[in-house]
Amino acid sequence: MTPRADPLTVEVVDLIGTVVARYHEEYEHAASQHSLTGAQARVLGLLSVEPLPMRKIAQRLKCEPSNITGIVDRLESRGLVERRPDPADRRVKLAAPTAEGRRTAERLRGSLHFAREPLSHLTVTERTLLKELLQRMLGTAPE
Amino acid sequence: MTPRADPLTVEVVDLIGTVVARYHEEYEHAASQHSLTGAQARVLGLLSVEPLPMRKIAQRLKCEPSNITGIVDRLESRGLVERRPDPADRRVKLAAPTAEGRRTAERLRGSLHFAREPLSHLTVTERTLLKELLQRMLGTAPE
DNA sequence: TATTGTTATACTCTATAACTATA
DNA sequence: TATAGTTATAGAGTATAACAATA
């Protein structure tokens, strides 16, 4: 069932590797334009969706909770994020973006060219096809 | 021409983000199984194709040459890589994998499940289609 | 007792700048 | 003088272990 290292599979894997590399370059570049590191940009992006306890951020980033302390420290010292108490559990600190943090996150999303430029080479039909193939590949297809 | 943030494009970009995340997890996991960091695994992978001058490695990894010194140091101290003089230019040092380095690189490639598992959900026809869409997306389509 | 966040520590990766040995 | 590689330095991300406050 598992495809061997046939030429087609190798070719597709190489292409995915290229996509991964390009995606990362663009992401890091967009982050640095706002004087953010990749990790800081990822955390800010997460929090701009919804405030999260420190623990949850670590789970989303798949890293140790102790690392989040420093990343949020740096975002907080720049006024992009703040720590709030959780009324329900006084052990928990909720990290939430400030107004400026939300603006930065918004501009960050806008400068992610990857969202537009490479996909502009595809028609709507092709994008739909790509979406379905990726869903099936990731095992997240609706059906 | 440039697609706006229409729902379809956003969905595809999210899927690509998921692919990127999964790819990285798998890569880091495979590297750590051989007690290598991601950067060390990437350099070893490059050198297993062909020995390279330090400078070239930096260009491939898109980082500063000074960083390569340490990465190759660590690979060399573990007997996976060696530095050779370049007969043509005595300033240049060629980094080349040892026999054990080549074996490690080979096993590393084999443990990259990403090359097989996710793509196994697709038929040959679908993989061909995916290949063509990615090529067009990246602007590397043969035609 | 268990959990949340933090601190302390050590290692790796990263960029910058200055150095050396070649060219 | 220019280039290849290195060293020195500083900042950031990472994991591990131990800690205080709270549950």
pLDDT tens digits for B36-56? Answer: 999 999 999 999 999 999 999
Q: Could you give the percent of chain B with pLDDT greater than 70?
A: 94
Q: Bridge-partner residues for B97, per DSSP?
A: B81
Distance from the Cα of residue B129 to its chain's centroid: 23
CA B87 / C1′ C23 distance in Å: 13
Residue from A137, A138, A140, A143 to probe the interface with B (highest B Cβ count within 10 Å): A137
Average pLDDT of the segment spanning B22-46: 95
Q: Is the pLDDT of residue B82 over 70?
A: yes
Q: Is A23 exposed, middle or buried (0-12, 13-18, 19+ CB in 10 A)?
A: buried
The dihedral over CA atoms of A110, A111, A112, A113, expressed in degrees to the nearest 10, equals 110
Is there contact between A108 and strand C, defined as CB under 7 Å from any strand atom?
no
- Which nucleotide has its C1' atom closest to residue A36's CA? D12
B122 and A138 within 8 Å at the Cβ level: the answer is no
Residue from A9, A14, A26 to probe the interface with B (highest B Cβ count within 10 Å): A9
Q: Where are the alpha helices (DSSP H) in chain A?
A: 7-33, 38-49, 54-61, 65-77, 99-110, 124-138
Is there contact between B24 and strand D, defined as CB under 7 Å from any strand atom?
no
A20 and B23 within 8 Å at the Cβ level: the answer is yes
Average pLDDT of the segment spanning B59-73: 98
The distance of B52 to chain A (nearest Cα, Å) reads 20
Question: In degrees, to the nearest 5, what angle opens at C-alpha A18 toward C-alphas B74 and B118?
Answer: 95
pLDDT at B1: 44
Q: Which of these CATH numbers, 1.20.120.1200, 3.30.1280.10, 1.10.10.10, 3.20.20.70, describes B32-111?
A: 1.10.10.10
Q: Which of B10, B23, B116 sits opposite A16 (nearest CB)?
A: B23
Average pLDDT of the segment spanning A18-39: 94
Q: What tokens does B113 get?
A: 């499940």
Q: Which helix (H) or strand (E) holds B94?
A: strand B93-97
Is there contact between B68 and strand D, defined as CB under 7 Å from any strand atom?
yes
For A34-92, write each residue's pLDDT tens digit. Answer: 999 999 999 999 999 999 999 999 999 999 999 999 999 999 999 999 999 999 999 99
**Average pLDDT of every residue of chain B:** 92
First to last CA, chain B: 20
**Average pLDDT of every residue of chain A:** 92
The distance of B56 to chain A (nearest Cα, Å) reads 17
pLDDT at A117: 78
A119 and B12 within 8 Å at the Cβ level: the answer is yes
Query: Can you give the residue ranges of every domain in chain A?
Result: 32-111, 112-143
Neighbour tally for A100: CB within 10 Å: 12
Residue B93: phi and psi, rounded to 5, are -115, 130
CA A66 / C1′ D18 distance in Å: 12
Tell me if residue A1 falls in helix, strand or coil: coil
CA B41 / C1′ D5 distance in Å: 21
CA B97 / C1′ D4 distance in Å: 20
Is there contact between B41 and strand C, defined as CB under 7 Å from any strand atom?
no
